[in-house]
Structure 1
Amino acid sequence: MQPTTGVLMVGSVPGASPKEVFTRLATALPGRLEAVPDGETGERWNYIGWQLARFPVIARRMELGGTPLPESGLPNLTLEDIQPTAYDEVALSSYGEFKRLREQGIIPAKVRFQIGLPSPYSVMAGHLKPEMANALEPLYEQRFAETLDQIVANIPHDDVVIQWDLCFEMTALEFDRGRFPDTWHKPYFSSPNGVLQGLVDRVVRLSERIPQDVKIAFHLCYGDLYHKHFVEPQDTSLLVELANALLECETLGPRTEWIHIPVPKDRTDPDYLSALTSLKLNSAGGSTPPRLYLGVVHANDEAGTKKRIETAQACLPFPFGVATECGLGRTPPEQIDSILQISKEVTAG
């Protein structure tokens, strides 16, 4: 098997601090990282969970401690009712540590700072009553716009990649196609152009707040709750459909640095991966095509990881790097060494 090139650390990594995560990743994966995340440590360990407190109790789903809506109709909430996201605060703090470690030679000079952000859609779909999500979307998007403004004003544009983590987008699409009946994942919005376009439009709205010289990336996800997907993908066709719709947008495609796509542990078959041949990496419009990272690495499964890589290499007409299926924030710490060792073993530095 020919080694693949490059490792993507999707985002969260168990660790006491960003410094610990930066140091661990840079040391364990020499010559393999084009960008490094801060690990989403502390209260960010559970993806969007820490954003729940940004919303008033009346807006939250009943299962998440919400209170009933009044019979008179939806409450009239304003921007002051939505707390700032604080993603910019942690990003700027972590970037300071990133720079210090790079000055010390621990992080290589060409490695950039990677910021993982959930889409506002994912946050609201996961936390809010559908009718409240629809009503509050402009307000929460405004909070996210403020977050992005602070990030791009305080970090050099050539030193950062902003990765959009799109999870509830995939489950919304699965629901829309009739393959996932859980109404929790029913899109809270209606769109005259269909669910897919409605989801893409939301990514475009926030991405246009990011200057064009800032690189972006996409982590497409089926969830990692209790280390299980919300619904198992039949194959990569729906992932490719969303990825292509994003890449075809003139404000997204030319500056997309990578696309990440999960590969379940039991899918070593070409039927799962064959739809990737339709991924339009070469038509994104940038000076270089976006990179593809496949989530083929699973803990304590080097043989299976190699098999998934071999299958992908036989199917795909273009190179790819490796990653895990999702972030590692909920991964038992004892499995992290295995994941890093396998990632190093199957890639060239």
Structure 2
Amino acid sequence: MALPTPTAVIGAFFTGEDRQAIEPVYRDLVYRELDGVLAAVPNHDLAIQWDCAVEFAVIETHAHPGGSTPWWTGDVREGLVARAADAIDRVPTDVEVGVRLCYGDVSERHFVEPRDAANLTHFANELTDATTRPITWIHLPVPIERDDDAYFAPLEELAIGDAELYLGLVHREDGVAGAARRIEAAGRHVEEFGVATECGIGRAPQDATEDIFRTHVVVAAGR
């Protein structure tokens, strides 16, 4: 079950001082929904994924005019990490929990193109340190045009403990060949990782789903 973090929803749909008042109310409602799922599904059958997307809009643009601004005082990234860690820690330790770090997907485009994987790496490391329970997996996006060492080099600093790393380097536009190029580049900087699409499948054209699944099968077999 994938859920957007409360931060992502508040940051995307509300503005100004309203966010300070709405955040605790909405957060409690999301956690109540989570508790309902936990009560209905056996823990060993359940995995929860928290999606962090608006977080990276704030990280990348808060210092620019018209950018996504925080609604709390203090360090911007510390506030984002603390909120994401709180959501992760709401999941019992015998339930798998993953985190998908994302730069958004509007008409299959990011709201900001990451210069490299540095902010993703820093956020993942800080989030791992901030949680009181282990994270099962962390997913990082890889833009379709990035098969260069400059993008992947920051992953050498990744420190996420026993969490599994998944790189979202499968794209429908260039299939197996494109994924292979990105896998080769990533492999020069991080030893072990799984593969996935960059931002799920839900926003792909309707007739593209089967091909995406077939690409996953071929690419995963090669891993």
User: What corresponds to 2:196 in structure 1?
Assistant: 323
- Give 1:236 shift: 0.2
CA distance change for structure 1 residues 228 and 182 in 2, over 3 Å: closer, same or farther? Answer: farther
- Give 1:250 shift: 4.1
CA contact (8 A) 1:300 1:339 kept: no
Counterpart among 76, 91, 107 of residue 195 in structure 1:
76
Q: Structure 1 residue 222 and structure 2 residue 103: aligned? A: yes
- Give 1:209 shift: 2.7
Q: Structure 1 residue 304 and structure 2 residue 178: aligned? A: yes
User: What corresponds to 1:92 in structure 2?
Assistant: none
- Distance in 1 separating the partners of 2:201 and 2:104: 12
CA distance change for structure 1 residues 208 and 300 in 2, over 3 Å: closer, same or farther? Answer: closer
- Give 1:162 shift: 0.6
User: What corresponds to 1:279 in structure 2?
Assistant: 158
TM-score by length of 2: 0.93
Q: Name the SS of the counterpart of 2:114 in structure 1.
A: coil
**Aligned partner letter, 2:35:** D
- Distance in 1 separating the partners of 2:91 and 2:138: 18
Gaps of 5+ in 2: none
Q: Deviations over 1:138-182 (max 9, x none)?
A: 111111121111111221112211100000001111124x4x544
TM-score by length of 1: 0.61
CA contact (8 A) 2:53 2:104 kept: yes
User: What corresponds to 1:268 in structure 2?
Assistant: 147
Of all paired residues, the percent bearing the same amino acid is 39
Structure 1 segment 1-349 matched on structure 2, within 5 A: 115-176=1-62, 178=63, 181-183=65-67, 185-190=68-73, 192=74, 194-252=75-133, 254=134, 256-281=135-160, 284=161, 289-301=162-174, 302-316=176-190, 318-348=191-221
- Give 1:279 shift: 0.8
- Distance in 2 separating the partners of 1:251 and 1:340: 35
- Distance in 1 separating the partners of 2:210 and 2:85: 37
**Aligned partner letter, 2:164:** R
**Aligned partner letter, 1:313:** G
- Distance in 1 separating the partners of 2:108 and 2:177: 20
**Aligned partner letter, 1:160:** L
- How many equivalent pairs are there? 221
Q: Name the SS of the counterpart of 2:49 in structure 1.
A: strand
- Give 1:343 shift: 1.1
**Aligned partner letter, 1:341:** R
Q: Deviations over 1:118-149 (max 9, x none)?
A: 00111111111231111111111111121111
**Aligned partner letter, 1:217:** G
Q: Deviations over 1:262-312 (max 9, x none)?
A: 10011010100010111113xx3xxxx111111111114121111001111
CA contact (8 A) 1:119 1:203 kept: yes
Task: Return the index of the structure with the highest Cα Rg.
Answer: 1
- Give 1:245 shift: 0.8
Larger RCO of the pair (alpha carbons < 8 Å, separation 6+): 1
Gaps of 5+ in 1: 1-114
**Aligned partner letter, 1:324:** T
CA contact (8 A) 1:296 1:309 kept: yes
